[in-house]
Amino acid sequence: MADLCARLEAAALSLTGPGHIKDRLFDAYCRYLEDIQECDVPGELAHEFGDMIRTLHRAPALPGDDVVKASVRKLSNDQACRYAGLVIRLYGMSAGMSHHGVVRNARPVVPLAKYLATEASSNS
């Protein structure tokens, strides 16, 4: 579980870096998440993670291309943002945090999924 948490953290950090959301999703998935299976993910998000895996392996790859890269290219920005948000929620869950948690005396937080969606629409 510690390895899963570390990999989800690395993927989450990769998703917050510079670049287009689809490129960041491709990088995060291929570098940190590709060999994680649906059954490795605890809780209610396992099925959603399995859906992401199937979606990222759906598009046929052209010769010399990667099936994940081809599949990510076919995603809408909204879909890419939704999957990025899923990775963030998985990391929060695996780190023992709730994405609905309330911290007293803290500044309001903009949900990452909303931030990524706004950024994706500005990169289009």
The CA radius of gyration of the chain, in Å to the nearest whole number, is 15
Domain that holds residue 58: 2-123
What mean pLDDT comes out for the span 52-70? 93
Residue 101: per-residue pLDDT: 47
pLDDT of amino acid 114:
65
Q: Give the H or E element holding residue 95.
A: none
| Both structure tokens of 64 | 């010399």
Per-residue pLDDT, 31: 96
**93: its two tokens:** 């869950």
Provide the pLDDT for residue 25. 97
Furthest CA-CA distance within the chain? 54
Could you read off the pLDDT of 25-52 as tens digits, one per residue? 999 999 999 999 999 987 889 999 999 9
The Cα angle at residue 108 between residues 102 and 114, in degrees rounded to 5: 100
Q: How many residues does the chain have?
A: 124
Residue of 81 and 122 predicted with greater confidence: 81
What pLDDT shows up at residue 96? 76
Q: How do residues 67-114 score in pLDDT, each as one tens digit?
A: 999 999 999 999 999 999 999 999 988 887 433 444 444 555 556 666
Could you give the number of structural domains in the chain?
1
